[in-house]
Amino acid sequence: MNAAERIEAASSFLLQSPPGEINDVLNDVRNIISDDDSLHEGVLPALKEYNLSQFMTVDVPGTTHQSIVSEAARVSATDAGQERFVDPRSKTSFLFDHLSLEASDSQPAEPDADSEPFRAALEKSTLTYLSAHFNDGVASIFASKEPTNQFIIQVVANKYNPANYWAGRWRSEYTIDLNENNIRGKVLVNVHYYEQGNVQLSTTHTISLSLPAAVVTSTPSASASKILALIEDEEGDGEKTFKGLRRALPLTRQKLDWDKVLGYKLGAELSSSKGMFGNS
């Protein structure tokens, strides 16, 4: 593998990181590639892509809340070529370091006067919804510049519990389009459980709805509970699939009599030899 391919492989590993484990993955990758100089430069695009797609949260300087760093939060690059992100709630923009995950150089960011009232209303009801359903949730609400009349609600909640070998992340995004009068949403849930193993849950759920006037404020909550209904539903279905793979016990409801299994060939019909399996 040449240097470029190694960087490509390292980037792919980073993008697959489970919630809250990007630093562990980076440490492993660093050790495996053992060429810090080229690695550092090479994986920066992957780190940026990971942060934006995973709705990384950041403490915005000068505020007491957290904000989401995502594609929707990105404002066009400045003259100096530096990329800035906006926190509409505090009306500030800032620089973001994709490695240290810190914000700096915050500046006032004037919102668009036409869209701000509706955006602020959305923000208010989203924050109510957030405190009703999330213990550690962060939400950002953006008014898109192009096209206008389009708003994006993003919610992220993380729980990392490395002491008990699990981590989870909830991401949801709703695009409210007042030109088309619809809402398009997606919910992504990832869970990693790794006590003596590696079990991962990954759900993707996309939803859409034509917009009745009253729905705007109540929808995130209604739809989100629908997502959980899906998970709950999946549970029923999932357990059925599970049973189809391996029975808890044989049809006889008893464990095998291993002394009788010996020398017995499956070719001999099972049905005619039920007596073999642990008849008391």
Q: Which of residues 220-259 bind other proteins (CB under 8 A)?
A: 222-235, 237-242, 244-252, 255-256, 258-259
Q: Which of 63, 83, 106, 134 binds other proteins (CB under 8 A)?
A: 134
- Window 138-157: residues binding other proteins (CB under 8 A): 157
β-pair partners for 66? 59
Least distance in angstroms from the C-beta of 50 to other proteins: 13
Least distance in angstroms from the C-beta of 150 to other proteins: 19
Q: What does the per-residue mask of binding to other proteins show for 66-105, with x meaning CB under 8 A?
A: ----------------------------------------
Tokens read off for 86: 């906006």
- Assess contact for 179 and 147: CB atoms under 8 A: yes
Least distance in angstroms from the C-beta of 52 to other proteins: 20
- Window 41-70: residues binding other proteins (CB under 8 A): none
Least distance in angstroms from the C-beta of 220 to other proteins: 11
**Residues touching other proteins, count (CB under 8 A):** 97
Residue with tokens 């492989």: 9
- 116 or 134, CB closer to other proteins? 134
Q: Which of 168, 175, 176, 216 binds other proteins (CB under 8 A)?
A: 168
Cα dist. 207→183, 202, 210, 230, 260 in Å? 8, 17, 11, 12, 55
What are the phi and psi torsion angles at 210 (to 5°)?
A: -75, 145
When asked if residue 215 is in the footprint of other proteins (CB under 8 A), the reply is yes
Q: Which of 40, 200, 253, 279 binds other proteins (CB under 8 A)?
A: 200
Least distance in angstroms from the C-beta of 175 to other proteins: 14
Beta strands in 64-177 (DSSP E): 66-69, 74-75, 84-87, 92-97, 102-108, 137-143, 150-161, 166-177
CA angle centred on 248, ends 246 and 253, rounded to 5°: 120
Q: How many residues does the chain have?
A: 280
- Window 1-40: residues binding other proteins (CB under 8 A): 1, 5-6, 9, 12-13, 16-18, 21, 24-25, 27-29, 31-34
Hey, what amino acid is at 160?
Y
When asked if residue 170 is in the footprint of other proteins (CB under 8 A), the reply is yes
Residues 11 and 247: their CA atoms lie apart, in Å, by 41
What are the phi and psi torsion angles at 49 (to 5°)?
A: -60, -40
